[in-house]
Structures are given as structure tokens and as C-alpha cells.
Structure 1
Amino acid sequence: MRHDLTSLELFVAVAECGNLTHAAQRQHLAVSAVSKRIAELEELARTPLLIRQARGVALTPAGQSLLHHARQMLQLVQRMDEELGEYAGGMKGHIRLHAVASALTQFLPEELESFLSRHPGVHISLEERTGKAIARAVADGSADLGIVAGPTAAPGLSALPYRTDRLVLGVPNGHALARRKAVRFEEALAYPFVGPHAESSLSALMQQGAQACGRALLQRIQVSSFDAMCRLVETRLGITLLPQGVLAPHVAAGRLRSVELKEAWATRQMAIVLREPGELSHVTRALIDHLQKAAAQPR
């Protein structure tokens, strides 16, 4: 059974878009050309690969298997092209990186800028996701790397140490806790919180902390933006729990006060998650090395 790379690339596009028309637009081809390629793949496989639905397509079990192997083959070819391309002058390649908001807000902008300034031929697609979504994306191949924060579970993935951050309370000026330097989380639970997105690793950590205290976590509002959380705290709608680096500008401007937590879990370890290290492209390995070296430098 012989497969050409163009057909495999089109099949991956269809699987990721879930729609032949969207896949055709992404690949700059006619829908009929994409449909013909898929039909040829099904003829080679001698089994249906897609389930045609009213609003798109879904993969059959055979299609899921082909998607897994097609991604591996395309990544291997990309890795070969990238490493050979270095001999022609300069590192080139495309990296799909998904990261939690904590990493994206505190660390990644400067680190990616310094990496890309050294390697202008590299393109990085960066997306903000929750920890669970990142683990899924890396596992299914739709992301090359992910950066998550504890305690995100990433079964079946390799994890490399990245940075640590410290969670602190953000409270409005004049709040009962504003004069305190440090408190136990149990004391903070007496007040309503402005909480993060329910699927975030930070939300899970807060829930676990409340359970350990035998107390309920009262979240008056839940939003997905750190800036929105800070703004809501400034207007006295509650207190919040955020990384110290996120709160620092608001504290420096006098809009909020930060209060340290005495719990050990307030210090979080971030990790770079990936599938098989041996399958990574040269440019992806270079980015990992750059991020870990940057994390080792004092801020």
C-alpha cells in the first residue's frame, strides 16, 4: 500500500477541520480535489476513513489510526527537511505551542522573542489553553509542545521541568486582609473569591486547597482573563488567587494589595509536556533547550 505525502497532509487537514470545505480553504485547493484525494485513500485502505455528516465529517476507527500514523510521518518528513535546511543557512521550521495563561503572561513573551530573534526562519503558533486541553492537544498531535502548571495530569506524555511561580492572594485596598503579610488559605476562605475558568489548573488547585481545609470555596464570579479578575477585585467584588508575577503590576500601581499564602502548594512547578522526545524536530528541541536555559537564569 503506497501513500503520497500530499494526500496524507490533506487527510490530516480534513481530520483537524472536521469539514471538507474548511480543509480545502486551509490547503488552498478546490473541495473536489480534496474529496478525490480522500476517496483515493479510502480505496487504498479498502475501508471507509470518514463518516459523512450533515455539517461535516467524523473519523472512523480506521481513520483515527491513519491520522495517528499520518501525523507521525509528516512530522518525520518535516524534521528531515528542517535539519537538512540548516545546511542551506539558518534554522527553519514551524512549532505549535500551547500554554497556560500563567506561563503566557509571566514568562513566554520575552523568551519567545529572544528565540525568534536568533532564528527568524522559525514560525511559532502560540495558543492559550487550559492545562487539560493542552495535555489532550499534545497527546493527539495537534500541538507539538505544551506548557502546563501543577497539578495538571498528563498521562502518557513526557514532562520536562520549566519554571516555578508563586500564588498569592489579591485583595482590594482597605480589605480586612490587606494589612496582613501572609495568611493561611483557610482564613481567605471566609471571603468570596473572583475565580478563574472552571477547567483551569488554578481552579482545580483552589478546590483542592478548600477541601484540605474542610471548607467550601465561595466563588462569586468566574472569568477566564487574569486582567478581568484583577479588575473585578479592584471594584471589591471579591478577593482572588493569582501568580505573583500577574498581580505585581496592579500592586505596583496601588490598585491592589498582595498577601502571601503560607501553604506549600502555593509554589507551583510548571512543565513542558511532549510526546516522544526522540520524535521531536531539531527546531522543537532547540526551543525546549532555549526555554529551559531561560528558566535557569535569575529573573
Structure 2
Amino acid sequence: MATELKIQPLRYVLAVCEEGSFQGAALRLHRSQPALSMAIRDLEEKLGQPLFEKSYKGQLTPYGEYCLPRFRELVQQHDRLATELEHMARGHQGRVTLATVPSVASRLMPDFLAGFIRDYPGININLHDENAEFVCRMVAGGEVDLGISSTWADDERLSYTHLFEDNIGVVLHRDHPLADRPSLKWQELTQERFIANGTSRLLKHTAAASLVDNNDFYISNMISLIAMLEAGSGVTTLPRLAFPVDNQKLCFVPLSEPKLVRQIGLIKLANRTPSPSAQALEEVILKQLTGVTT
């Protein structure tokens, strides 16, 4: 069985060599010289060989010369590991994976993550943008640590913490006759060519459900959807965060009847302890994104 070595006696040996004497090492380390000498003597007994010459205190034996660089390497490795584990435990170092719906990824994450990375430079982040269903699946499957999404379906494996509400509105061309309205009722859209998209499921089980049931198009890709709307090929509904605010051809009109919102929250596995880095990200998300106004 290998000899078990404690780190502190190795530090004493290094200090004696650096100071040139047991007395100097004891003064530097704020230890009594007898206590330091006893610790080194115990180490020599464990190793089975003397480290210092008996007649010349502070001078290494040939065996001590062999051990010195190895002691130094072991102490340095110990200190690096201790620092790394401490940083990991405090959430200052590590890797965390986050999945969000695309609108949150593009509108909120740039500034949020820039600040987080500045405050936690030792944490590496992998960001995935997926639709709400896949965000929930990735969290449930353990593929990501955290998700920011609307709830797709009840899942006892997941824990959901509400963050904010995202208003649903009608998106249409700026030249459309309804574009200058302060708000719209769903009945005013029944004669329009309605283009359904991935977020249209939010209209299900509401008074506006018939818009989805009787839609003319379904386009899942946001780039293609925006192109169709810019061409004046129809109207759609989107959460406000999903609306491209810098688009000069389209406008967003709140839907007033029914007034609809998308509930956005933080999703994680219900019965799993998060890593310290994931816990750090979770705490900052809850602090900075709770109550965001869209």
C-alpha cells in the first residue's frame, strides 16, 4: 500500500530549503521550530529515509534532493486543484448549457449574457435556440441545464418558475388598412389570409382558435414568415418579443379580444441538484429577467 503523504509537511520541507534553515522556515510559517522539526521527522519515518543531513541542518541528503522537485510539483498541483474546486463550488468556474426560444435568444440574451460573462468569466456557456417544445424536451432529457420557454405540456419531471408575460399581437404590412389601429379584435381578422406559425398554438382553446383552424398557410421558419408578410401575402400573430422591431415594412398591433399573453419561465429538472455554475446562472436569470416588460 502506498505511503499517504500530507501536504503540510511537504510545505515545511520546501520552506526549510528556501530559507536555508529550520529556524528561518519556522519564523516564516509562524510555527514553533520543534513542531516543524517533528512534522518533518514524521515524514522521514513514513518515507523510510532522511531528507536532511543531521550534521548540517537545512542541507538535503541525496534522497532529499531527489524528493524536492517532486514535493514542489505535488504542492503546486494540490494548490491548483484546491483553487479550481473552490471556484467550481462557488459557481465561478465550469460549463453550463442553456436552451431558449428564438425570440428570447435574439432579443434578451445578447445583453444578458454579456453581463453574465463579465461577472463570471470562468463559466463557459453553450446556448441553444429551439422552439418551446424542444426546449422542454432538452431540459427533460438532461441535454441542457436550464431552459427559458413557455410551457409546452405538463411534465412532472420539470420545474417551472414564471419570469414574465409576452403580449400576443397581430403582425401585418404597414400599408394594410388595419395597420394604424391601436388594437385589434380577432373577429376583424376573419376575412384576412391568416398565416399560422409555430406560436399560433397559443390561440388554441381561445375565442380566436378558428383563425388557426382555418388558416391558409403554415410557415414554421421565421425568415420565410417575415418574407411572406413583407410581400403582403397575409397577416399573422406573434409574441411581441418575436416581432422584428427594426423591420420597416411590418407593424405590430396588440390583440385586444381576446387579450393573449405568452407565459415565459425558467425550466429545469425538478429532482436534480444543479451544478454550481448552473445554479449561478439560474440565480442571475431570476434576478434580472423576472418581470421583464415586452
TM-score range, shorter chain: 0.5 to 0.7
Runs of 4+ in 1 over 4 A off after TM superposition: 87-90, 210-215
Cα deviation digits, residues 94-150 of structure 1 (max 9, x gap): 111111122212212211111111111111111111222222221121111111115
Counterpart of 1:203, as a letter, is S
Which stretch of the first structure deviates more once superposed, 114-123 or 208-217? 208-217
Using the TM superposition, give the Cα deviation of residue 233 of structure 1 relative to its aligned residue in structure 2, in angstroms: 0.6
Partner of 1:259: 253
Partner of 2:226: 230
Using the TM superposition, give the Cα deviation of residue 284 of structure 1 relative to its aligned residue in structure 2, in angstroms: 0.8
Q: Aligned match of 2:237 in 213, 224, 241?
A: 241
In the aligned structure 1, how far is the partner of 2:225 from the partner of 2:117? 31
The within-5 A match list for 1:135-150 is 135-150=136-151
Which stretch of the first structure deviates more once superposed, 267-276 or 142-151? 142-151
Q: Is the 8 A contact 2:164 2:292 kept in 1?
A: no
Matched, 1:204 2:201: yes
Q: TM-score scaled by structure 1? A: 0.62
Q: TM-score scaled by structure 2? A: 0.63
Cα deviation digits, residues 19-38 of structure 1 (max 9, x gap): xxxxxxxxxxxxxxxxxxxx
Q: Is the 8 A contact 1:195 1:221 kept in 2?
A: yes
Q: 1:230 to 1:125 in 2, by over 3 A?
A: same
Partner of 1:283: 277
Matched, 1:294 2:288: yes
Q: 1:275 to 1:222 in 2, by over 3 A?
A: same
In the aligned structure 2, how far is the partner of 1:146 from the partner of 1:154? 14
Cα deviation digits, residues 254-284 of structure 1 (max 9, x gap): x112211014552222011111365111111
Counterpart of 2:274, as a letter, is L
Q: 1:232 to 1:85 in 2, by over 3 A?
A: farther
Q: Gaps (5+ residues) in structure 1?
A: 1-80
RMSD, matched Cα:
3.0
- Three-state SS of the structure 1 residue aligned to 2:177 is coil
Counterpart of 2:213, as a letter, is A
Matched, 1:161 2:126: no
Q: 1:97 to 1:192 in 2, by over 3 A?
A: same
In the aligned structure 1, how far is the partner of 2:197 from the partner of 2:229? 12
Cα deviation digits, residues 63-113 of structure 1 (max 9, x gap): xxxxxxxxxxxxxxxxxx998241799811111111112221221221111
Q: Is the 8 A contact 2:161 2:266 kept in 1?
A: yes
**Aligned pair count?**
213
Q: Is the 8 A contact 2:91 2:280 kept in 1?
A: no
Q: Which of 1 and 2 has greater Rg?
A: 2
Q: Is the 8 A contact 1:230 1:247 kept in 2?
A: no
Identical residues among aligned pairs (%): 24
